[in-house]
């Protein structure tokens, strides 16, 4: 979906995204202050990713809250196409989804699309994508989900239970719609043409409203879902969309697993983190100390500042102070980078501890937790 100097599709984000414009292009709605306050009034606090507008856009979030207040509840759904190692940007939707689950106490379904990854990339074998699924699931569990209310499933394992619903969905979608929505052509393999129906299935796992926290790049799937859901007797899925954590190397596009210097992986050790930030983190500061003292930094393009703002500095007063000092030239590029290195390494150390513990918990999320057991017994027809 090329527009202006940027484009956002499920496989690629290019250029400096104009998020306000994207809301108009995609036909979504901005999350208003009123809506944010409504969430706060229900759950008693506001997640920084909501307050700082990392989650900035939605569809039917107001209806989800209305259902909640009326006692109908709702459920959460998100997912991941597994790859060799997740980066910190991938954690954004999972951390936020886990927070929503803790606050609302609702079920969460997490689809691991080992099939999608295999079919989309000529170079990957199915053994690889299934292995990566097992590895990525540990990082996802480490975000803090409730094992009794969360079901994590790999498409290649759970397909039998999904298939009846998947073919009902597939029968409603034409090749020309899918082709236009995802930019496919007649040389695309037929697996990837069918795949959107599998990403839509979990939106219909319960007969109440589904809320999907995810990056806005996944939006095309939900547009198709909303066209057909009611005709199958389900709700149109609601979404809450996030912006992208920019790559280390500059404020354009999104962090990508395939460009190692653009990303911090969850497995990067402290020395690697320090080296990457110091060497690659794109700076909005001035080239010399004298100039920085005189002119200060441009926060709009400074990646260390944006990472702190989006993710790693949750304290509003502290981020305000960092922004002010860096912008005025009181703080130097090396100093803000050092703050980020410490924050990142702190986060990663805790993440690794949680990931270790997750190794004992995989079976609960996939097969043995309350929701998992229920889901294996249920054929979605």
In the DSSP assignment, the letter for residue 216 is G
Which residues 294-353 are close enough to bind ligand TYM by CB under 6 A?
A: none
Work out how close the CB of 287 gets to ligand TYM at its nearest, in angstroms, rounded to a whole number.
27
By CB under 6 A, which span of 156-164, 177-185, 237-245, 367-375 interacts with ligand TYM?
237-245
Shortest spacing between CB 353 and ligand TYM, in angstroms: 22
- Binding piece for ligand TYM, criterion CB under 6 A, among 242-250, 273-281, 321-329, 334-342: 242-250
3-state secondary structure of 193: helix
Give the nearest distance from C-beta 338 to ligand TYM in angstroms. Answer: 23
Which DSSP category does 265 fall into? B
Using rule CB under 6 A, residue 116 touches ligand TYM = yes
Give the orientation angle of helix 370-377 with respect to helix 155-172, to 10 degrees: 50
Which residue lies nearer to ligand TYM by CB, 165 or 245?
Answer: 245
For residues 93-112, which are near ligand TYM according to CB under 6 A? 93, 111
Give 176: exposed, middle or buried? Use CB within 10 Å, 0-12, 13-18, 19+: exposed
Q: Decide if 376 contacts 157 (C-beta within 8 A).
A: no
Applying CB under 6 A, which of residues 79, 147, 284, 285 lies at the interface with ligand TYM? 79
| Closer Cβ to ligand TYM, 234 or 329, answer by number | 234
CB of 235 or CB of 292, closer to ligand TYM: 235
Least distance from ligand TYM to the Cβ atom of residue 81, Å: 3
Q: State how far the Cα of 69 lies from the Cα of 50, in Å rounded to an integer.
A: 20
Of all residues in the shown chain, the one whose CB is closest to ligand TYM is 215
Subset of residues 160 to 219 that bind ligand TYM, contact rule: CB under 6 A:
199, 212, 214-215, 217-218
| Residue 161 neighbours by CB distance under 10 Å | 19
Candidates 26, 50, 89, 371: give the one binding ligand TYM (CB under 6 A). Answer: 89
Nearer to ligand TYM, 129 or 286 (CB): 129
Between 92 and 229, CB nearer to ligand TYM: 92
- Give the per-residue contact string, 246-285, with ligand TYM (x = CB under 6 A; - = no): --------xx------------------------------
Q: Is the dihedral of CA 329, 334, 337, 338 positive or negative?
A: negative
> Residue 29 or residue 121: which is nearer to ligand TYM going by CB?
121
Q: From the CB of 289, what's the least distance to ligand TYM, in Å?
A: 31
Beta strands (DSSP E) in the chain are 2-3, 6-9, 12-14, 29-30, 55-59, 75-80, 108-112, 150-154, 210-215, 238-242
# binding residues, ligand TYM (CB under 6 A): 24
Q: CA 107, CA 274: separation in Å to the nearest integer? A: 38
Residue with tokens 């609302």: 104
Positions in 7-46 near ligand TYM (CB under 6 A): 10
Work out whether the CA dihedral 302, 304, 307, 312 comes out positive or negative: negative
Number of H helices and number of E strands within the chain? 18, 10
Q: Are 31 and 272 in contact (CB under 8 A)?
A: no
* By the rule CB under 6 A, 114 interacts with ligand TYM: no
Partners of residue 242 on adjacent β-strands: 55, 215
Contact between 242 and ligand TYM per CB under 6 A? yes
Report the residue number, 224 or 255, with the smaller CB distance to ligand TYM: 255
CB closer to ligand TYM out of 39 and 255: 255
CA distance 271 to 194: 44
Closest by Cα among 64, 134, 153, 157 to 371:
153
CB 312 within 8 A of CB 340: yes
- Residue 67 or 111: the one with the smaller Cβ distance to ligand TYM is 111
Binding site for ligand TYM (CB under 6 A): 10, 77-81, 89-90, 92-93, 111, 113, 116, 199, 212, 214-215, 217-218, 242, 244-245, 254-255
């Amino acid at each position: 979906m090329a527009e202006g100097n940027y484009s956002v599709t499920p496989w690629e984000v290019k250029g400096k995204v104009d998020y306000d414009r994207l809301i108009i292009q995609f036909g979504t709605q901005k999350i208003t202050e009123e809506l944010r306050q409504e969430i706060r009034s229900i759950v008693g606090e506001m997640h920084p990713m909501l307050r700082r507008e990392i989650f900035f856009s939605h569809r039917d979030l107001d209806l989800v809250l209305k259902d909640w207040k009326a006692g109908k509840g709702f459920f959460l759904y998100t997912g991941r196409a597994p790859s060799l190692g997740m980066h910190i940007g991938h954690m954004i939707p999972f951390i936020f989804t886990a927070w929503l689950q803790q606050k609302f106490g609702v079920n969460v379904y997490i689809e691991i699309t080992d099939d999608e990854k295999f079919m989309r990339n000529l170079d990957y074998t199915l053994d690889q994508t299934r292995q990566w699924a097992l590895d990525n699931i540990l990082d996802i569990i480490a975000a803090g989900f409730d094992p009794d209310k969360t079901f994590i499933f790999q498409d290649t394992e759970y397909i039998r239970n999904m298939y009846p619903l998947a073919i009902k969905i597939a029968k409603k979608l034409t090749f020309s719609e899918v082709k236009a929505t995802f930019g496919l052509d007649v040389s695309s393999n037929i697996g990837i043409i069918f795949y959107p129906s599998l990403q839509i299935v979990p939106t219909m796992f319960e007969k109440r409203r589904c809320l999907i926290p995810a990056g806005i790049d996944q939006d095309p799937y939900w547009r198709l879902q909303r066209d057909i859901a009611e005709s199958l007797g389900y709700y149109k899925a609601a979404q809450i969309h996030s912006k992208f954590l920019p790559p280390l190397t500059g404020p354009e596009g999104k962090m990508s697993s395939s460009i190692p210097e653009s990303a911090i992986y969850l497995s990067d050790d402290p020395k690697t983190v320090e080296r990457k930030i110091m060497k690659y983190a794109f700076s909005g500061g001035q080239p010399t100390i004298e100039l920085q003292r005189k002119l200060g930094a441009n926060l709009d393009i400074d990646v260390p500042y944006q990472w702190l703002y989006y993710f790693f500095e949750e304290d509003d007063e502290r981020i305000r102070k960092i922004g002010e000092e860096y912008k005025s030239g009181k703080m130097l590029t090396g100093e803000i980078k050092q703050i980020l290195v410490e924050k990142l390494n702190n986060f990663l150390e805790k993440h690794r501890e949680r990931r270790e513990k997750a190794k004992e918990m995989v079976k609960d999320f996939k097969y043995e937790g309350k929701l998992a057991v229920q889901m294996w017994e249920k054929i979605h027809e």
